[in-house]
Amino acid sequence: MMRSSLRRVAHRARAAYEINASAIRACHSDRSDEMVMTSQRRLGVIHDPALNRGTAFSTDERERLLLRGLVPPRQQPLHHQVKRVMETYMTQRTNLDKFQFLSLLMDRNTVLFYRCLVDHFEQLAPIVYTPVVGEACLKFHAIYRRTRGMYFSLLDRPHFRTMVYNWPIDDVDVIVVTDGSRVLSLGDLGCNSMNIPIGKLSLYVSAAGISPSRTLPIVLDVGTDNLQLRENPLYLGLNRPRLRGKAYYDLLDEWMSAIRHRWPNTLIQFEDFASEAAEKLLDRYRVSSAPCFNDDIQSTGSIAIAALLSSLRAREKSMRDIKDDRIVCVGAGSAGVGVCEGLVQAMQYYGMAKQDAYRNFYLLDENGLLGRGRPLIGNRVNFSRDDLQDGMSLVDVVKAVKPTILLGLSGVGGLFTEDVVREMAKHVEKPVIFPMSNPSVSSECTPEQAFNWTDGRAVVATGSPFENVTLKDGSIGYTNQANNVYSFPGLGLAVTVARISCVTDEMFLAAGRHVAQLSSDEEVRKGILFPPVTQLRDVSAEIAAAVVFVARAAGLVRRRLPDMAWESHDSMVQYMKSQMWEPKYGHLVAK
Ligand SMILES: O=C([O-])CC(=O)C(=O)O
Ligand SMILES: [Mg+2]
């Protein structure tokens, strides 16, 4: 009798804790304010970063998840944990130590990691993202501790279709994928590139409230031409030269088809692919049945649009005056050309004929101006000048053209020399200088140089973050981070929430136009082109709203959103905010 009643109690207890598969998924994937449950107990809870809450487990949780005695007695609220983490963070000596410290935190406690990142974004983003993420990629093989994300290598063919099921989560909202062939401006880093998709996805979560368990970072290891890495016994990727040509595109087709098979609606962001592949892959997959885009081409394009439009406001001009801008761009890789194509679309939007818009551009690559007679591949032909000598140097182009805008997407630090900038500043009242290459060492000039060489008249935006500059007269020269972090997270939120079926250039144009409107007139006149990164979650909701209206007009929205959300831009912004994942502890056990 006694035994059977005990059994009944035990059975009831088990039943209370018995969790079906969908509840486990809910715990991994749903918004944190919903009731969540788990089949994990004891250290299984503590060792799962999605469940772990360190010293913050409540009495109920300690009791029912069998955690008594496994954590220190005192219960701490999340904000005390954040304080402790940040104090220890400050004692880390080098940037790489800081990167490691944050990676380990991410491995231990998802909510705490993101709470820190959201609350201290300005301080921590340059570590998990550009510039320090670049250094962390260079040293990936040396500092490797634990796996995250997925690797698809040449050796895994033809098993991609089954491999995708090794990932435990059914609902994936965003994938960031790289083949490591051009990491930031650091070149071919092969399999070491994994920190790039991880870093980008942490921005989707922190800046746009994508649920962390619904993100998936991926590296395609097709070999590397980086001999130094290959010959290093600690290197973790394949020891073979990069796959090229048809075999490479076949591998990508197999990968795409495997991903689409398991996750048909997931947004795929192509990241840091070398120019040729970046363009070809975008052409190959952009009009497929599912959403994808290239970050370095399209979202960098949208932020360049934002920077240019915002600079028109800073120069007290109207948007239509974009037709009078003369743009010299160093860098004619996929990013340079893609960004300029984006700007051409912006010019068209403001009333110019496409052919006239192209005439406002002067593109240079490592061989100088793309000019008369040079054979060019892809869209580059559109930008070729027939009025100037092919191969002209930057300073000569600047002399000849008297540009209003200097755009840097070359990946080569220091190309905007004193000669170049001073020459430009002779001819325009407010020289607009955007050295957009990443990380900071690859910036074509520093904001300080831009201000010094223009007597403080420059309007400046860089790709990586820089400090504001104190000018000779004591006033502040404002720097701006014209980084694609202002656009891709918001776009991802829109795609996820509204299940947008295809990502179009119009969406990036809308995102760029919208970001350009977010600073007040007063701020913009001072040279502040964008809202501060501390407001990124608001910015992302704004972008998501702008994008979703464009998607609806194009018939690309597949999920029914509440009618109220569609009432106005502002109501859509509110709705997007309500759909964001928040880093806070939900209930692990039913009350
Ligand atoms: O990562 C960044 O800061 C921007 C970007 O996509 C790149 O430079 O490749
Ligand atoms: Mg990139």
pLDDT in tens, 260-284: 999 999 999 999 999 999 999 999 9
Mean pLDDT of 316-344: 97
Pick from 105-114, 285-294, 350-359, 427-436: least confident: 285-294
pTM: 0.93
pLDDT tier, 14 (very low <50, low <70, confident <90, very high otherwise): very low
pLDDT digits (tens, 9 = 90+) for 331-389: 999 999 999 999 999 999 999 999 999 999 999 999 999 998 889 988 899 999 999 99
- Ligand-binding annotation for 260, yes or no, is no
* Predicted local confidence at residue 38, as pLDDT: 87
User: Nearest ligand, CA of residue 465?
Assistant: 1
The answer to whether the 123-289 and 325-482 domains have the same CATH topology is yes
3-class SS of residue 369: strand
pLDDT digits (tens, 9 = 90+) for 456-482: 999 999 999 999 999 999 999 999 999
Q: If you measure from the C-alpha of residue 249 to the centroid of ligand 2, how many angstroms do you get, rounded to a whole number?
A: 20
ipTM value for the complex: 0.96
pLDDT at 442 over 80: yes
Asked whether 378 and 340 are in contact (CB, 8 A), the reply is no
Site to probe by mutation for ligand 1, drawn from 295, 297, 441 as the one with most ligand atoms within 8 Å of Cβ, is 295
Nearest CA to 441 out of 478, 466, 470, 477 is that of 466
* Predicted local confidence at residue 586, as pLDDT: 87
* Average predicted confidence (pLDDT) for the chain: 93
Share of the chain above pLDDT 70, in %: 94
CB-based contacts of 459, cutoff 8 Å, min separation 6: 311, 314, 315, 430, 431, 432, 433, 527, 529
* Predicted local confidence at residue 482, as pLDDT: 96
- Ligand-binding annotation for 360, yes or no, is no
pLDDT at 16 over 60: no
Q: Would you call 585 a catalytic residue per the annotation?
A: no
- Nearest atom (ligand 1) to Cα of 184: 9
pLDDT digits (tens, 9 = 90+) for 549-579: 999 999 999 999 999 999 999 999 999 999 9
pLDDT at 324 over 80: yes
DSSP 8-class letter at 434: E
The Cα–Cα gap between 344 and 364 comes to 17
Q: Name the pairing type of β-strands 215-221 and 292-294.
A: unpaired
pLDDT digits (tens, 9 = 90+) for 208-264: 999 999 999 999 999 999 999 999 999 999 999 999 999 999 999 999 999 999 999
* Predicted local confidence at residue 589, as pLDDT: 87
Q: If you measure from the C-alpha of residue 325 to the centroid of ligand 2, how many angstroms do you get, rounded to a whole number?
A: 27
3-class SS of residue 330: strand
- Ligand-binding annotation for 359, yes or no, is no
* Predicted local confidence at residue 591, as pLDDT: 64
Q: If you measure from the C-alpha of residue 142 to the centroid of ligand 2, how many angstroms do you get, rounded to a whole number?
A: 22
- Ligand-binding annotation for 522, yes or no, is no
Asked whether 582 and 32 are in contact (CB, 8 A), the reply is yes
In the CATH hierarchy, which top-level class contains the domain 325-482? alpha beta
- Nearest atom (ligand 1) to Cα of 182: 9
Nearest CA to 237 out of 155, 149, 176 is that of 155
* Predicted local confidence at residue 70, as pLDDT: 97
Q: Which CATH superfamily is domain 123-289 in?
A: Malic enzyme, N-terminal domain (3.40.50.10380)
Q: Would you call 83 a catalytic residue per the annotation?
A: no
pLDDT digits (tens, 9 = 90+) for 516-544: 999 999 999 999 999 999 999 999 999 99
Nearest CA to 137 out of 183, 88, 70 is that of 183
Q: CB-hemisphere CA count at 13 Å for 201? A: 28
3-class SS of residue 469: strand
Share of the chain above pLDDT 90, in %: 91
User: Nearest ligand, CA of residue 410?
Assistant: 1
pLDDT at 29 over 80: no
Please list, residue by residue across 334-351, b when 16 or more beta carbons sit within 10 angstroms of its beta carbon and e when fewer do: bbbbbbbbbbbbbbebbe
DSSP 8-class letter at 562: P
pLDDT tier, 27 (very low <50, low <70, confident <90, very high otherwise): very low
Mean pLDDT of 13-21: 36
Q: Which of 114, 200, 285, 585 is catalytic?
A: 200
Site to probe by mutation for ligand 1, drawn from 484, 486, 508 as the one with most ligand atoms within 8 Å of Cβ, is 484
pLDDT digits (tens, 9 = 90+) for 378-433: 889 999 999 999 999 999 999 999 999 999 999 999 999 999 999 999 999 999 99
Q: Which of 114, 129, 285, 486 is catalytic?
A: 129
Q: If you measure from the C-alpha of residue 136 to the centroid of ligand 1, how many angstroms do you get, rounded to a whole number?
A: 14
pLDDT at 4 over 80: no
pLDDT at 25 over 90: no
Mean pLDDT of 167-171: 97
- Ligand-binding annotation for 296, yes or no, is yes
Mean pLDDT of 108-127: 98
The Cα–Cα gap between 10 and 300 comes to 58
CB-based contacts of 216, cutoff 8 Å, min separation 6: 149, 150, 167, 169, 172, 174, 175, 176, 201, 266
User: Nearest ligand, CA of residue 464?
Assistant: 1
CB-based contacts of 2, cutoff 8 Å, min separation 6: none
Q: If you measure from the C-alpha of residue 297 to the centroid of ligand 1, how many angstroms do you get, rounded to a whole number?
A: 10
**Any residues with Cβ below 6 Å from ligand 1, and which?**
130, 184, 272, 295-296, 438, 463, 483-484
Domain boundaries, the chain: 1-76, 123-289, 325-482
